[in-house]
Amino acid sequence: MPAALLSVFDKTNLISFATELAKLNWTLLASGGTAKALRDANLPVTEVADYTGSPEILGGRVKTLHPAIHGGILARATEDDDTDLARIHAQRIDLVAVNLYPFQQTIAKPNVTLADAIENIDIGGVALIRAAAKNMERVTLVCDPMDYDAVLAEIKSNGQTSAETRRRLAVKGFAHTAEYDSAIRNYLAGSDALTITAYPVQTLRYGENPHQKATLYSYVQGAGPLGGEILQGKELSYNNLLDLDAAWRAVLSFSAPTICIVKHLSPCGIASVPTLQAAFELALASDPVSAFGGVIASNREFDAETANSLGDLFVECIAAPGFTSDAREKLVKRKNCRLVSMPNLAIDPPTEMRSVTRGLLRQDIDQGDPANTEWQVVSQRAPTSTEMESLRFAMAACTHVKSNAIVFASGTATVGIGGGQPNRVDSARIAATRAGEKSKGAVMASDAFFPFPDSVEVAAQAGITAIVAPGGSVRDADAIAVANANNMAMVFTGVRHFRH
């Protein structure tokens, strides 16, 4: 019977993976905590210590570092190697599922001690990955739970994984240990040297313009665009990818069904309401002119009702965590509309990088106000509960608009967006123009303080009733005075949300 060695810290989908292997009559070997998890699930498993005859030592620091384990992984399909294994009462190991202690997550914690960091340096796991990857001619390495399903599908279909799959997973394993070792080196050296491994996904037709060459890369080998899967339509362009990324990040800021429409990297409509169809209709109404030829992102499965609401709007791409079969039937008629099914509702990695001359900039992704943010009413009139709900939506939407960003919102939908201007008052004027009569009774969010009261004056003239902004200007008092003079509520958050 084929044998699998399971030794994982991250036990995501472990039980379902091991269950399927057991159904296929695989022998399961597992180290301490992994073996316990399998026993608790009533799966037949042999613990590594029992298999090797050597108990774990040094408080678990040494578990799998044993000739019977590494011999079984590194053994080639030769008579001589089989003889050596028989001499030590070992067998071939055909699959190794292993992932490592969370060193990077540990050192990211505040006030982590050197001792804690050291204890989260994996030794045996790295050795297992390298051994399995080295012997990719025979052994399947799975160091990422996201690969479990694909590996199982091949085993069920062919009895084993293909040579191509084993090679791909081996490369992934070596890349993983390289990144892991780099993080340890940087931490212990007290430096933050950046090592990037990225895999080509596709050569794009061109970049932002036809005379520019471009290639899409992924941090994960074999992943699709943005980690998703293109369900229909031609390949995504450089500009499509930028717009979809912006729209996808925006919808993940909201828990209710949300639609974001982006054109030329600028949101032109965002709405977050109880139904996806209503969210699309409100987002489109925010700026129907700019929406033509844009991209759409949804944080819910895209349904037929929403597909119907597209009408004759030309849409370049739609990204969503899935599409219903009825929606697919309707959208397949739009041959020039790409559909991208996203793997989950997550932004990964949680940092972003931009190139500058001879270097890179890296920062944490702005995921909205920190949890401890306290909004303070600074005007004579406090916002009503309805206004406050709308202000919170508007500020979350504002986070995704290019600075200087101004968002007008009614309820939980944008009605006017202005951004990307070198001064704030022009952004306010643009938002007011796009909102038109819909600005009356709406609220306004600003991504940064008001250097002058002119933006507040534009808001008052447009009929805005409440404003949220970070505050912090030397002329805050002037802005507050205009708000009070027009019976507007004003709230300061103390948190800026520039997006250049």
Query: 197-244, pLDDT tens digit by residue?
Result: 788 999 999 999 999 999 999 988 789 999 999 999 999 999 999 999
Catalogue all structural domains in the chain, each as residue range(s) with its CATH number.
3-189 (3.40.50.1380), 225-341 (3.40.140.20), 376-492 (3.40.140.20)
Mean pLDDT along residues 281-290 = 97
CA distance 158 to 305: 41
pLDDT score of 64: 72
Residue numbers annotated as active site: 134, 264
CA distance 81 to 213: 50
Q: Is the pTM of this model over 0.75?
A: no
Mean pLDDT along residues 448-464 = 97
Residues ≥6 apart with Cβ < 8 Å to 68:
51, 52, 53, 88, 89, 90
Neighbouring C-beta atoms of residue 208, cutoff 10 Å:
11
Q: Quick one: tokens of 386?
A: 């309805």
Q: Give the end-to-end CA distance of the chain in Å, rounded to a whole number.
A: 58
Nearest to 279 by CA among 247, 318, 309, 253: 309
- Residue-wise pLDDT for 299-358, tens only, equals 999 999 999 999 999 999 999 999 999 999 999 999 889 999 999 998 888 899 999 999
pLDDT score of 491: 98
Neighbouring C-beta atoms of residue 50, cutoff 10 Å:
12
pLDDT score of 1: 82
DSSP state of 359: E
At residue 289, φ and ψ (nearest 5 deg) are: -70, -50
CA distance 218 to 214: 14
Residue 392 has pLDDT above 90, yes or no: yes
- Residue-wise pLDDT for 81-133, tens only, equals 778 788 878 888 899 999 888 888 888 888 888 888 888 888 888 999 999 99
Asked if 7 and 30 count as a contact pair (C-beta separation under 8 A), the reply is: yes
Neighbouring C-beta atoms of residue 118, cutoff 10 Å:
13
pLDDT score of 66: 82
pLDDT band, very low/low/confident/very high, at 492 (cuts 50, 70, 90): very high
Asked if 362 and 351 count as a contact pair (C-beta separation under 8 A), the reply is: yes
Residue 467 has pLDDT above 90, yes or no: yes
Nearest to 493 by CA among 443, 449, 444, 428: 449
Residue 56 has pLDDT above 80, yes or no: no
- Residue-wise pLDDT for 223-236, tens only, equals 999 999 999 999 99
Nearest to 102 by CA among 38, 10, 25: 10
Asked if 128 and 96 count as a contact pair (C-beta separation under 8 A), the reply is: yes
